Structure 1
Amino acid sequence: MNLRQLSKYLKKKRNFLKCVVCAIVLWCTYDYFGIGDYLHASSFENDFHYPLDVNIKDLVNEVLSNQKLSVTPINYYPYSFLSNSGKCTNIEKIDLMIVVKSAMDHFGHRDTIRKTYGNEDIPGRTVKILFFLGVDGKPKSDVQRQIDQEMADFHDIIQMDFIDYYYNNTIKTMMSFRWVYEHCSHADYYLFTDDDMYISVNNLLGYLHDRLDASSALQGDLLFTGYVFHSAPQRFRFSKWRVSLEEYRWDRWPDYVTAAAYVLSNKAMRVMYIGSLFVKHFRFDDIYLGIVAKKVGITPEHCPHFYFHKKKFSLDAYEDVIASHGYHDHDELIRVWHEMNCK
């Protein structure tokens, strides 16, 4: 092989290697950003259906009217309540039941809530609050011993025997639904919230009262309200919220309410819980509730007074705020709550 032939050979080899490298880079980009999943997703508008593919509304009506079920439930979580509470016992009327989804070691969060919006002291209204926790799988851990003492002191914690971590939030949410459905099904409204929220119970009750004035049929109303999102699944492989086509194959989510804080009327709570028994589990609780709502025919209602982010505080800005996210600083929550409620 002469020098000219060798030069041509090396040039071809370099060009080939460049093509190979480019192909690898393109494939990695295609895979890493989930481009294929985006391209192959099915149309939500034209093709959405989610197991069970039956008329969930009819099944809900069968349960509510004590009829024999025509379809076997598929989604009853096999967990137990390790503690209980008599907060709803022998109380004929509860205006608002507050259900707080809390992490095991968030002792400060729970204590701060008890000192602020969870103090249950609302003149003329009956408001109750409970905290819902999982377990860490270590029955004799220091954290569990502290929780045992906390339960003995306050009687406001419902603990359940599943591992308490982020991707079990749907289990925590639906077990909370189960508890209120079975033990506190007569509250007018239910506020489900995370333990890092600012909540104005007065503003919430005022909002619900105004809504009652606007609708004489509210007692039967299927209210599901909070901050409503209209969005699509994330397919990026690096995302904490990545969802594959195998898990969910449609190009957008049903409308859903952010799980940080949302309110359900009595009937909506019962319909959503019963409906969930026939709707396949999904690991993100807000998305799951959005799917259940769509299946049972409830349209999430956007309320502009719920903030999924942390709204900057001022007396004027918080005048009509019902919920604001991101209150990890206990002293800040106490200060803001007192400024708004002790004027």
Structure 2
Amino acid sequence: MEMRNKSSLQKVSKKVKMKRKYLKYIVCVFVAWYLYNYLGIGDYLHASSFETDFHYPLDVNIRDLVDDVLRYQNFTVRPINHYPYNFLSNSGKCTNIEKIDLMIVVKSAMPHFGHRDTIRKTYGNEDIPERTVKILFFLGVDGKPKSDVQRQIDQEMADFHDIIQMDFIDYYYNNTIKTMMSFRWVYEHCSHADYYLFTDDDMYISVNKLLDHLPDRPDTSSKLQEDLLFTGYVFHSAPQRFRFSKWRVSLEEYRWDRWPDYVTAGAYVLSNKALRVMYIGSLFVKHFRFDDIYLGIVAKKVGITPEHCPHFYFYKKDFSPDAYEDVIASHGYHDHDELIRVWHEMNSKYFIR
């Protein structure tokens, strides 16, 4: 009887161990499956090689198409990427001005009234001795034409005449639309500036240091001159495949294992020719939702190499007069008083006549 009970207990114990082992196996499989999907391991493993296989649509020689447009104003291939939006306001800032040294294009959000006012008091000050600088803010809409925010913007436009508003919904994943619509506006209404600075509305910018850093623009009698400067803080990185990430990119959206070199969207500069080549080229390059990545793709397709400038900071550089002596751009200035204080300390000398 005792041996029988012992044998039964051993069988039960063996079954329990087997169940525990099986349960551990199931848990391990589940965890592995979860991590495989959550971390996007499958996407990383199945990504195509950028070095040997990059051919983002359209798969044609886009630079040839661009040159045809610049020479003959003639589209030999139908564009695939025309955004169906309208400009709801305009500006005469470029009208009847023969020479513009720098056109500043600020990508701003609708409620950022304080940001825009602070910029007007600092680097957006157009009264720069011996330089012609113009600034415009580009905004979308909130889909509420009679909202309090829209009424305030209407008043702001009437007061300053420096806002271009466009009829798409203004939110993060429409940043590429905002960027390329601003390209369209300057291409159509202000195509004669020497350089274009595109910047977010939370940046510290030293316009004079930027102008001192940029080379004098060469003779522009030929529209086909190779004056193709695209500069800022250049990144060399790969797509993030993690699920639930704000920046996740699936293989269906972009299947290659790294990005083309791109300039962070916080602040970057284009020469006149580069602006025109990039805008026309974008008409033949499939839309992508991250604007800095998209411009990197367009640059790759039209044969422009982004140039890294160490004086642009994609993060907020700690301030001291010595540390900011060579700083052209620094990101992350949400405190308006701080931006005013830092900017005046570093730039007021340029305005002494």
Q: TM-score range by the shorter chain?
A: over 0.9
Q: What does residue 168 of structure 2 align with?
A: 162
Which TM-score applies when normalising by structure 1?
0.96
Question: Is residue 326 of structure 1 aligned with residue 336 of structure 2?
Answer: no
Q: In 2, distance between residues paired with 1:95 and 1:82?
A: 27
Match of 1:109 among 106, 115, 121: 115
Specify the structure having the higher radius of gyration (Cα): 2
Cα distance in 1 between the residues matched to 2:121 and 2:103? 17
User: What's the offset of the Cα at 1:2?
Assistant: 3.5
Paired residue for 2:127?
121
1:173 to 172, 176, 179: 179
Are 2:191 and 1:185 equivalent residues in the alignment? yes
What is residue 150 of structure 1 aligned with on the other side? 156
State the 1:110 CA deviation.
0.1
Aligned amino acid, residue 169 of structure 2: I
Post-superposition offset of 1:342: 2.1
Structure 2 equivalent of residue 241 of structure 1: 247
Alignment of 1:257-272 (within 5 A): 257-272=263-278
The one-letter code sitting in structure 2 at the alignment partner of 1:296 is V
Who is 1:5 aligned against? Answer: 11
| C-alpha distance in 2 between matches for 1:61 and 1:302 | 25
One-letter amino acid of the structure 2 residue matched with residue 32 of structure 1: Y
The separation in 1 between residues aligned to 2:346 and 2:164, in whole angstroms, is 29
Match of 2:319 among 290, 313, 319: 313
Corresponding residue to 1:28 among 31, 34, 46:
34
CA–CA separation in structure 2 for the residues paired with 1:8 and 1:301: 68
Q: Deviations over 1:235-266 (max 9, x none)?
A: 11132111111111111000000000000000
TM-superposed deviation, 1:116: 0.5
CA gap of 1:110–1:219, structure 2 versus 1, over 3 A, is: farther
Counterparts of 2:202 and 2:135, CA distance in 1: 15
Equivalents in 1 of 2:91, 2:111: separation in Å? Answer: 20
Corresponding residue number in structure 2 for 1:255: 261
- 1:285 corresponds to: 291
CA contact (8 A) 2:194 2:217 kept: no
Q: Give distance in 2, aligned partners of 1:198 and 1:298.
A: 27
Over aligned residues, Cα RMSD in angstroms?
1.7
Give matches, 1:78-97, under 5 Å.
Answer: 78-97=84-103
Distance in 2 (CA, whole Å) between partners of 1:219 and 1:198 is: 32
Query: 1:198–1:22: structure 2 CA closer, same or farther, 3 Å change rule?
Result: same
Partners of 1:167 and 1:155 in 2: how far apart? 27
Alignment partner, residue 215 of structure 1: none
2:210 is matched by which residue type in structure 1? L
The answer as to 2:71 corresponding to 1:65 is: yes
Q: Alpha carbons of 1:111 and 1:67: their partners in 2 closer, same or farther (altered >3 Å)?
A: closer
**Comparing 10-19 and 133-142, the one that deviates more:** 10-19
The offset of 1:131, in angstroms, is 0.0
Deviations 1:125-163 (A, max 9, x none): 100000000000000000000000000000000000000
Residue 128 of structure 1 aligns to a residue whose secondary structure is strand
Q: How many residues align?
A: 340
1:232 aligns with 2:238: yes
Q: Which runs of 5+ in 1 are unaligned?
A: 213-217
In the superposition, relative to structure 1, how do residues 117 and 58 fare at CA in structure 2: closer, same or farther (>3 Å)? same
Once the two structures are overlaid, the 10-residue window that deviates more, 324-333 or 62-71, is 62-71
Distance 1:134 1:331 in 2: 26
- SS of residue paired to 1:60: helix
User: Percent of counterpart pairs with the same letter?
Assistant: 87
2:9 corresponds to which letter in structure 1?
Answer: L
Structure 2: distance between partners of 1:211 and 1:26: 57
Instruction: Work out the CA distance in 2 between the residues paired with 1:202 and 1:76.
Output: 35
Distance in 2 between residues matched to 1:184 and 1:191, nearest whole Å: 13
> What is the rounded CA distance, in whole Å, between the counterparts of 2:110 and 2:340 in structure 1?
21
CA deviation profile, 1:59-115 (whole Å, cap 9, x unmatched): 101111125422110000000000000000010110000000000000000000000
Q: Which amino acid aligns with 1:233?
A: P
Task: Identify if the C-alpha distance between structure 1 residues 219 and 326 changes in structure 2 by more than 3 Å, giving closer, same or farther.
Answer: farther
Q: What is the SS of the residue equivalent to 2:265?
A: strand
Counterparts of 1:114 and 1:303, CA distance in 2 = 25
User: Comparing 62-71 with 254-263, which one deviates more in the overlay?
Assistant: 62-71
Deviation at 1:168, TM superposition (A): 0.4
**Partner Cα distance (1:314, 1:11) in 2:** 66
Consecutive unaligned residues in structure 2, runs of 5 or more: 1-6, 219-223
Distance 1:117 1:71 in 2: 41
Partners of 1:310 and 1:9 in 2: how far apart?
61
Cα distance, 1:17 vs. partner? 1.2
